[in-house]
Amino acid sequence: MTEILTVTLNPALDLATSCPSVSPGPKLRCGPETAEPGGGGVNVARAVVQLGGQARALVALGGANGDALERLLQERDLDLIRHEAPGQTRHSFSVTDESTGAQYRFVLSGPEWTEAQLDTVLDRLAAEAGAGDYIVLSGSMPPGCAPGWITRACDRLSGRRVVVDTSGAHLHQQATAPGPAPFVLRMDSAEARDLSGLGLETRADSAAFAEALRARGAAEIVIIARGKDGSVMATDKGRWHVTAANETVVSAIGAGDSFVGGFVKALAEGLDHPEALRHGAAAAAAAVISPGTQLCLPGDFADALPRTDLIAL
């Protein structure tokens, strides 16, 4: 099987808890907390492993929080490649309001990187990943990482298949198709609407914008997630829509990362792009019914996969 290497430059030690209600002012007495390793690439690797695949995770870790996160990753039998971060690994935490079911998510900042430190990451990735391997750049880029770094990464990692799922200025930069392009570029509907300036009300609208990005050279494959309406994908072979396969949402944490994990795992196992899209949708459906940050559990994935509906657009 082709190898999968995920990259997390700004991971987090994710804490999750709940309280009877969330309101400003009084002390909020919370229930027991759970601690999970967080960050886009970390979650993608966890999803791949939980679904029975294999993935290595290059994670930038620093300080006591980094050591705690490393222990959590080792407990989950993740094949970890530790890269020293320039500072303390950040926290993030979520609180669920038990009276309404609403979830409040707080994401803290991480340490700042220099260009030279970021270059060492590219050197290490080039040494760790072989030709044809999948390298997943998922999650927020750290402070100090200027837009354009993903393009540099694609250039430095020529011959590998780079999968990008990021946001903000880095996504905007990549959408302008500076080249060289990644293999896959994924985004959610809010990000796609922001990039396009359009409402993207229908599946066809989202698929058309995905194809416009692909034709422009933003990536070989462009995927736009539409929440409960599933996801659309544009490749040089056509456009597809897959249903979300689940209307119930317990926790949205890690749904997008689970999608990427299921999608890339399927590709690495030799499945074609449309079938991989189904696997991504089923992994996301499994993730949203898991509490906290548990991501996609294999039994839930197996239940969801037959419910996915793939349509050519």
What does the chain come to in residues?
313
Q: Which residues pair with 242 in a beta bridge?
A: 231, 310
Contacts of 119 by beta carbon, 8 Å cutoff, 6+ apart: none
Type and span of the H or E element at 196: helix 189-196
- Residue in 49, 40, 48, 45 with CA at minimum distance from that of residue 11: 40
Contacts of 192 by beta carbon, 8 Å cutoff, 6+ apart: 200, 206, 209, 210, 224
Q: In what order do the strands lie in the sheet with 56-61?
A: 79-84, 56-61, 4-8, 134-138, 161-165, 184-188, 221-225, 231-235, 238-242, 310-312
- 257 carries an active-site annotation: yes
Q: Give yes or no for a contact between 129 and 157, defined as CB atoms under 8 angstroms apart.
A: yes
Torsion 211-215-217-221 (CA) sign: positive
Task: Provide φ and ψ at 291, rounded to 5°.
Answer: -70, 155
Out of 257, 272, 300, 303, the active site residue is 257
Catalytic residues: 257
